[in-house]
Amino acid sequence: MKTMSEITSIELITADEHDKPILRNLMQYYQYDSSAYTNEDPGRFGLFDYKYLDHYWTDQGKEEEGRQAFLVKVNHMLGGFVLVNNHSILKKPGNETKTIAEFFIMRKWRRQGVGKEVAYKTFEIHKGIWEIKQEKENIGAQRFWENVINEYTAGNFKRVESVGDDWDGPVIWFDNSK
């Protein structure tokens, strides 16, 4: 019987344009997992499409939309990714709210503290208001984010079930600028 690997390091690395094929490949696993909640099907060639991936490196989205892509490495091997942007449903003028657009940790590393450490590292990169949306049907993600954010903020966060027509699912907001 194979035992769990010991975790010796967890890294959050800024992805550059040369890493786009790696992210596109990892995105397949993420979207496959998510299809249980999104009801999305792969395209005719058997692949899922993530139409915003290129925007993380193009002029038409990266800067003004606050897009950043990160690779996660566990024990120096690929373990997932995080995509961050400014696509907040708060929509206040001048609002620089950061959001987790996509967050993926490979199954072999789940429930071992990897996701929590990656979330913390991501939050520490940007000080300010954060908004984390979860799919209404994804109860596991809701538990994960509420537990992580509760611990990270010492309970200083706001959670609502849905926000008008913009989002039908839980949203958590917090400010880590203080």
Query: Do the domain assignments include residue 1?
Result: no
Query: Do the domain assignments include residue 74?
Result: yes
Element (H, E) at 173: strand 171-175
Distances (CA, A) of 28 to 48, 90, 102: 6, 29, 12
Mean pLDDT, the chain, rounded, equals: 88
Number of domains in the chain: 1
User: Residue 169: CB partners within 8 Å, gap ≥ 6?
Assistant: 133, 134, 135, 136, 161, 162
> pTM of the full predicted structure?
0.90
Whether 111 has a pLDDT exceeding 70, the answer reads yes
Query: Do the domain assignments include residue 49?
Result: yes
Query: Do the domain assignments include residue 135?
Result: yes
Mean pLDDT (whole number) for 149-163: 92
Provide the residue type at 161 as one letter.
Answer: E
Whether 175 has a pLDDT exceeding 90, the answer reads yes
Straight-line distance from the first to the last Cα atom of the chain, in angstroms, rounded to the nearest whole number: 47
Give the per-residue pLDDT at 119: 97
Query: Do the domain assignments include residue 5?
Result: no
Query: Do the domain assignments include residue 69?
Result: yes
Domain that holds residue 78: 10-175
CA angle 146/148/153 to nearest 5° reads: 90
- The one-character DSSP state at 126 is S
- The one-character DSSP state at 56 is G
Whether 1 has a pLDDT exceeding 50, the answer reads no
Higher pLDDT, 118 or 49: 118
Query: Do the domain assignments include residue 2?
Result: no
Whether 61 has a pLDDT exceeding 60, the answer reads no
For 66, phi then psi, to 5°, come to 60, 30
CATH number of the domain where residue 147 is located: 3.40.630.30
Query: Do the domain assignments include residue 86?
Result: yes
Distances (CA, A) of 60 to 64, 122, 125, 126: 8, 23, 23, 22
